[in-house]
Amino acid sequence: MTPPPVTSDFYELEALLDDQDRETLYRVRAFMDEQVTPVINDFWTRGQFPHELVPGLAELGVAGAQYSGHGSPGRSSLFDGMVAMEFSRGDPSIATFMGVHGGLAMGTMHLCASEEQKERWLPAMARMELIGAFGLTEPEHGSDVARGLQTTARRDGDEWVLDGQKKWIGNGSFADLVIIWARDVETDRVLGFVVEKGTPGFSAVDLEDKIALRVVQNAHITLDGVRVPEANRLQGANSFRDTAQVLRATRVSVAWSAVGCSRGAYEHALRYAEGRQQFGQPITGFQLVQDLVFRMLGNITASATLCARASQLQDCGRLKDEHASMAKAYSTMRMRETVGWARELMGGNGILLENHVGRYVADAEAIYSYEGTREVNSLIVGRAVTGESALV
């Protein structure tokens, strides 16, 4: 398959993939260019999710790509990261939707569910017949949720009773399965539960008036005496360390998504520059424009190569928290610069949604913060380097 044109893989990192993975990557790119880009601004403006695109996303066969068995593709972490990048290059909201479903929700199932639970849910999730969500963050606890988790779980015979609230839960208002992390009132352990759609006592309201990732439906979830059978308690989720295991894997994917957001803004800005004339000549011939192109491409290339190495470490079982945190913090910092430079290159036209770059500028703010803020990730790296923890 001939790849759609792309100008931002300056160090040819796609060559690290085998032929099959590259072909799949190109199919993802084509889907985003042909099916998503023409319609996404309208959904972004209205703050709605394009459910009609889900069957096409399912046909790509990349949900939960890095995991094996139970219908999941079993591809490399490097491939999974590049796919996240490609989704985000087309639209960061679609990348986030796929990351929540295929990374956080399916990843939790693969890492923490029993074999019976995996057989019960994962094949349908891989086909995207069941959509998943991941409920960890709470209204009063984000970065400190490991210590401050307030949602509770109380054993009552063969059931568990869940009470509490979750906030910023992507896909939460329409997901078929929501993984809820709660603290056992008896043992104080953090446990994971699968709450199925329609369970009494579970309610989800979408957060409105966001300035970033407007296509993503982030829910405020209330759990009021929600009864979950023991069969829905994830058998391998018995402490926050199990939660952190999931986050470590997905944090690298978010770093890749930041690279994709940068690439999308850069490519739209470059195409604009190639067709824009000022002072009687194309602006691509101006020194200051070429300097912006260099700055953007340098950020993209440095971040992508860093992410590629992190994914390689993940594939060989050597990825540590500090590796994932370095990739996420660095790539999102450079992303913020890059989308700003893309907007700068386009002048006033950069704030018009029809030129796309403004959407990446806004969406970058959410990617910068979720899956670990820059501040917390920097302290995780600092602890690894110095041997001293500066985390409160």
pLDDT higher than 60, residue 14: yes
Place of tokens 């972004």: 44
Give the phi and the psi of residue 326 in degrees, each rounded to 5: -60, -45
Q: What SS3 class is residue 278?
A: strand
Instruction: Work out the number of other CB atoms within 10 angstroms of the CB of residue 46.
Output: 10
**Amino acid occupying residue 254:** V
Q: Give 266-294 pLDDT, tens digit per residue.
A: 999 999 999 999 999 999 999 999 999 99
Beta carbons within 8 Å of 72's beta carbon, 6+ residues apart: 63, 64, 65, 106, 110, 122, 126
pLDDT higher than 60, residue 348: yes
pLDDT higher than 80, residue 144: no
Beta carbons within 8 Å of 89's beta carbon, 6+ residues apart: 8, 29, 32, 260, 261, 263, 264, 267
Task: Measure the N-to-C terminal CA separation of the chain; round to a whole number of Å.
Answer: 52
* Neighbour-count burial for 203-235, b at 16+ CB within 10 Å, e otherwise: ebebbeebebbbbbbbbbbebeebbbeeebbbe
When pLDDT is cut at 50, 70 and 90, the band that residue 6 belongs to is: low
Q: CA nearest 43: which of 1, 97, 110?
A: 97
When pLDDT is cut at 50, 70 and 90, the band that residue 249 belongs to is: confident
Count Cα neighbours of 377 within 13 Å in the Cβ-side half-sphere.
Answer: 25
pLDDT higher than 70, residue 5: no
pLDDT higher than 60, residue 2: no
Kindly list the distances between the CA atom of residue 74 and the CA atoms of 22, 126, 219, in Å, as whole numbers in the listed order: 15, 11, 30
Instruction: Work out the number of other CB atoms within 10 angstroms of the CB of residue 333.
Output: 17
Region of residue 379 (left: phi > 0; alpha: psi -120 to 50; beta: else): alpha
When pLDDT is cut at 50, 70 and 90, the band that residue 145 belongs to is: confident
Cα distance between residue 220 and residue 233, in whole Å: 22
3-state secondary structure 144-170: CHHHHCCCEEEEECCEEEEEEEEEEEE
Cα distance between residue 72 and residue 62, in whole Å: 8
Cα distance between residue 271 and residue 288, in whole Å: 16
Q: What single string gives the DSSP state of each residue in 325-386?
A: HHHHHHHHHHHHHHHHHHHHHTGGGGG-GGGSHHHHHHHHHHHHHSSS-HHHHHHHHHHHHH
Beta carbons within 8 Å of 373's beta carbon, 6+ residues apart: 142, 143
Residue pair 236/242 in contact by the 8 Å Cβ criterion: yes
When pLDDT is cut at 50, 70 and 90, the band that residue 374 belongs to is: very high
Q: Give 68-89 pLDDT, tens digit per residue.
A: 999 999 999 999 999 999 999 9
pLDDT higher than 80, residue 16: yes
